[in-house]
């Protein structure tokens, strides 16, 4: 959400925020200049945020949050709505801040972002904490690691029957069903999709889509909740 004051320029947004926290005039002016330089906003500092791109507005919001030198920087989905190039630039910026000692508490719906940036991750769903740990620890909690997802034409309980047959395949650690989707968690992926398709054919089940993915936080979320973040 863009909560910048649209009636103020970029520079004025920073100065007003610092004044709100009681920072002296000379200090806040110096800090604003330093942050505008650091976030590559000097050339546009005297324009209002309505003229900024999404990436520039996000950088200004992070700069504003740093104006009062917080012990912890809280960021709520800082890359939502950014194009891939702007998102990568924001990642580099946050990684640089963290490497210089800034503690960052980040919420995000992008599992790749959490994996890339965070040293510790907590996965929550509907306000409930499901898992917490380092990215490596969390990914290791996915049964087997690899995920094969099949979408089928589910008629007369075919999903349950096929799931039972797939469970007996070598390398399969766990099988879960959800309506017309079957998810296989496996400790190897070589040849597994072809074998799964063969078993489906033997069961006279039509597979309309198939997807294979490597161990990831997204797979862990799927395993814990039965749905993806996009559902």
pLDDT category, 228, cuts 50, 70, 90? low
Task: Calculate the alpha carbon distances from 101 to 63, 122, 188 in Å.
Answer: 16, 21, 39
Domain ranges of the chain: 10-118, 139-225
- Average pLDDT rounded to a whole number, residues 95-121: 92
Beta strands across the sheet bearing 207-213: 172-178, 181-186, 146-152, 207-213
Closest CA to 199 of 167, 231, 154, 173: 167
Q: What percent of the chain has pLDDT over 90?
A: 48
pLDDT score recorded for residue 123:
92
Task: Calculate the alpha carbon distances from 134 to 115, 138, 174 in Å.
Answer: 9, 6, 23
pLDDT score recorded for residue 227:
64
11-66 confidence digits (pLDDT tens): 999 999 999 999 999 999 999 999 999 888 999 999 999 999 988 999 999 999 99
Its CATH architecture, for the domain 139-225, is: 2-Layer Sandwich (3.30)
Q: How many CB atoms lie within 10 A of CB 218?
A: 20
Q: Do 10-118 and 139-225 come out as alike in CATH topology?
A: no
pLDDT category, 1, cuts 50, 70, 90? low
Question: What mean pLDDT value characterizes the chain?
Answer: 88
Please give the model's pTM, rounded to 2 decimal places.
0.68
Angle at 112 between CA 215 and CA 176, to 5 degrees: 40
Residues 109/211, Cβ–Cβ less than 8 Å: no
- Classify domain 10-118 by CATH number: 3.40.50.300
């Amino acid at each position: 959400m863009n909560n910048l004051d649209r009636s103020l320029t970029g520079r004025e947004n920073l100065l007003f925020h610092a004044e709100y926290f009681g920072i002296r005039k000379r200090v806040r002016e110096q800090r604003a200049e330093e942050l505008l330089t650091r976030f590559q906003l000097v050339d546009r500092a005297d324009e209002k945020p309505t003229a900024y791109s999404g990436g520039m507005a996000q950088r200004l919001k992070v700069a504003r949050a740093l104006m009062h030198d917080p012990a912890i920087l809280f960021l709520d989905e800082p890359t939502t709505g950014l194009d891939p190039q702007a998102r990568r630039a924001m990642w580099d910026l946050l990684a640089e801040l963290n490497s210089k000692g800034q503690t960052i508490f980040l919420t995000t719906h992008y599992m790749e972002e959490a994996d890339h940036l965070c040293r510790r991750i907590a996965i929550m769903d509907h306000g409930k904490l499901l898992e917490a740990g380092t990215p490596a620890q969390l990914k290791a909690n996915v049964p087997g690691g690899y995920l094969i997802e099949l979408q089928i034409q589910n008629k007369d309980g075919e999903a349950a029957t096929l799931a039972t047959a797939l469970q007996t395949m070598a390398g399969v650690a766990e099988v879960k069903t959800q309506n017309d989707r079957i998810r296989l968690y496996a400790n190897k992926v070589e040849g597994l999709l072809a074998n799964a398709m063969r078993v489906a054919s033997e069961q006279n089940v039509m597979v309309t889509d198939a997807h294979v993915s490597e161990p990831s936080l997204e797979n862990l979320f799927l395993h814990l909740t039965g749905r993806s973040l996009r559902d």
